[in-house]
Amino acid sequence: MKLTILGGGGFRVPLVYGALLGDHAEGRISRVTLYDTDADRLTAVARVLAEQARGVHDAPAVVATDDLDEALRGADFVFSAIRVGGLEGRAADERVALDEGVLGQETVGAGGIAYGLRTVPVAVALARRIARLAPHAWVINFTNPAGLVTEAMSRHLGDRVIGICDSPVGLGRRIARVLGADPDRARVDYVGLNHLGWVRGLHVDGRDELPRLLADPALLGSFEEGRLFGPDWLRSLGSVPNEYLHYYYFNREAVRAYQDAEQTRGAFLRDQQEGFYARVKDPAVPALATWDRTRAEREATYMAENRDVAGAGEREESDLDSGGYEQVALALMRAVARNERTSLILDVRNRGTLAVLDEDAVIEVPCLVDANGARPVAVEPLPYHAVGLVTAVKAVERAVLEAAETGSRSAAVRAFALHPLVDSVSVARRLVDGYTKVHPGLAYLSRP
Ligand code: G6P
Ligand code: MN
């Protein structure tokens, strides 16, 4: 099986390769092609992978190329993990929004819209190329904002593109563990959009254990989202939201904390990764050690900064052992390649699952996965408060897709103005002005 990684020079590619190295079963990935527009980053990451592979007898062969067509031909799976504009672009997405007094975050609110406007045209061009050169490949999209980008690509690839995120899986496992249940046997009732979903139940042997959690302040205080949102709010809501809903439910506090922070998350990651890509150029320095150290520092700071700001404290060691998104991706590939039926929370087209959204809207929902791909399972309808957020944000995503397709500036303004976390049409207009000024990639928004 051949896997192609778009954005193959990315900092997190060694995590994916590490997961592949642990898979020795029949039908596993035997060849990995890294594709990237930046040759230096490609060389750096290829060096890390070569060191990871040392001593592993069946390690997947690695090829690196900056020729897209060559990378795509013959691919069975394509991972899309690109970052249009790099971390410099992410830092600008955050800054412009915060200067305007609204949330500047990678995927949520104004920052997420700016990132979507920059990324969608590139993701669509890639999807078109994949549809031509590797029409039978399964495409797994990690590129954020993952739900929006998956929907953009699905217009060219249909249900062959599947979006993934580790956050709902991690949340389900944390809740199961707190309740003393085996995370692998619990069925999590979760639905929404990417970074905008709620756990409404956790079923073990046919019994819903979530009410027991919501009734117990001590249990609620014993895991990350419980501390993040607080027991009172979770009990009042009757569900456990994805951690990204903190930006909605505690928006003022989040904006203030981000404005007061010394650096935005994007700026921090930019500086740190620049350090890695610079150090790894020295052939005398072991590449893997350089990557490992930088990564460990990054994780530590992530926990300290982001979670403390919200009063959530540090993430427990066991909270991290669900393995992250590379494990979700590996589980998905296994199920498809070996026709091993499994259940995973993924970003796929709605197909009637949520009655308030049309068939083609990409949602995040538990799916049954096998050789035929991923099919959403039936779920309970959303309560009205969730319908409000989900439909409002889907309307924003549709405005972004329209702007990306037509180059219409007014569609871009509409995207910002309709977002629940942007409080004025005037602010939306200034955001479009501000973002087009700092992002050359938004020059396409040239039609009225
Ligand atoms: C979570 C999110 C991902 C995001 C990742 C890294 O796992 O679900 O969408 O890419 O965090 O976030 P960072 O701020 O480290 O780039
Ligand atoms: Mn995610």
Residue 124: per-residue pLDDT: 98
Residue 359 neighbours by CB under 8 Å, 6+ apart? 349, 350, 351, 352
DSSP string, 100-133: TTS---SSSHHHHHHHHHHHHHHHHHHHHHHHHH
Whether 220 and 238 have beta carbons less than 8 Å apart is answered as no
Residue 319: per-residue pLDDT: 47
Does the beta carbon of 47 lie inside 6 Å of ligand 1?
A: no
> Which residue puts its alpha carbon closest to atom 13 of ligand 1?
265
Does the beta carbon of 370 lie inside 6 Å of ligand 1?
A: no
Q: Is 372 exposed, middle or buried (0-12, 13-18, 19+ CB in 10 A)?
A: exposed
> Which residue puts its alpha carbon closest to atom 1 of ligand 1?
167
Average pLDDT score over residue span 257-263: 93
Does the beta carbon of 83 lie inside 6 Å of ligand 1?
A: no
Amino acid identity of residue 19, one-letter, is: A
Residue 156: per-residue pLDDT: 98
> Which residue puts its alpha carbon closest to atom 2 of ligand 1?
167
What ipTM does the predicted assembly reach? 0.98
Residue 448: per-residue pLDDT: 96
Residue 292 alpha carbon to ligand 1 centre in Å: 18
Amino acid identity of residue 425, one-letter, is: V
**Residue 325 pLDDT class (50, 70, 90 cuts):** confident
Residue 207: per-residue pLDDT: 97
Average pLDDT score over residue span 196-208: 97
| First-residue to last-residue Cα distance in the chain | 47
Residue 152 alpha carbon to ligand 1 centre in Å: 20
Whether 192 and 198 have beta carbons less than 8 Å apart is answered as yes
Amino acid identity of residue 197, one-letter, is: G
Does the beta carbon of 167 lie inside 6 Å of ligand 1?
A: yes
What percent of the chain is predicted at pLDDT more than 90? Answer: 90
- At 26 the three-state DSSP class reads coil
Does the beta carbon of 194 lie inside 6 Å of ligand 1?
A: no
Q: Is 447 exposed, middle or buried (0-12, 13-18, 19+ CB in 10 A)?
A: exposed
DSSP 308: H
Q: Which atom of ligand 1 is nearest to the CA of 146?
A: 9
Q: Which atom of ligand 1 is nearest to the CA of 324?
A: 7
Residue 269 neighbours by CB under 8 Å, 6+ apart? 87, 90, 298
Amino acid identity of residue 190, one-letter, is: Y
Per the DSSP assignment, residues forming a β-bridge with 80 are 6, 141
Residue 440 neighbours by CB under 8 Å, 6+ apart? none
Residue 302: per-residue pLDDT: 61
Q: Which atom of ligand 1 is nearest to the CA of 306?
A: 14
Tell me, yes or no, if the pTM score tops 0.90.
yes
Q: Which residue has the tokens 């050359």?
A: 440
Per the DSSP assignment, residues forming a β-bridge with 436 are none
Mean pLDDT of the chain: 94
Residue 321: per-residue pLDDT: 46
Residue 133: per-residue pLDDT: 98
Q: What are phi and psi of 189, to 5 degrees?
A: -90, 100
Q: What are phi and psi of 311, to 5 degrees?
A: 75, 20
Average pLDDT score over residue span 177-183: 96
Does the beta carbon of 166 lie inside 6 Å of ligand 1?
A: yes
Distance CA 434, CA 99 (A): 10
Residue 258 alpha carbon to ligand 1 centre in Å: 16
Q: Which helix H or strand E contains 379, and what residues bound it?
A: none
Residue 320: per-residue pLDDT: 46
**Pairing state of beta strands 187-193 and 196-204?**
antiparallel
Q: Which residue has the higher pLDDT, 326 or 445?
A: 445
Q: Which residues of 54-86 are buried (b: 16+ CB within 10 A; e: fewer)?
A: eeeeebbebebbeebeebbeebbbbbbbbbbbe
Q: Which ligand is nearest to the CA of 302?
A: 1
Residue 2 structure tokens: 């051949």
Distance CA 191, CA 173 (A): 15
Does the beta carbon of 292 lie inside 6 Å of ligand 1?
A: no
Residue 445 alpha carbon to ligand 1 centre in Å: 28
> Which residue puts its alpha carbon closest to atom 10 of ligand 1?
144
Residue 294: per-residue pLDDT: 81
Q: Please report how many Cα atoms fall inside a 13 Å half-sphere around the Cα of residue 275, on the Cβ side.
A: 14
Average pLDDT score over residue span 412-422: 98
Does the beta carbon of 414 lie inside 6 Å of ligand 1?
A: no
- At 216 the three-state DSSP class reads coil
DSSP 135: T
Residue 212 structure tokens: 């027991």
Q: What are phi and psi of 370, to 5 degrees?
A: -155, -160
Whether 110 and 417 have beta carbons less than 8 Å apart is answered as no
User: What would the pLDDT profile of 101-141 be if each residue is shown by its tens digit?
Assistant: 999 999 999 999 999 999 999 999 999 999 999 999 999 99
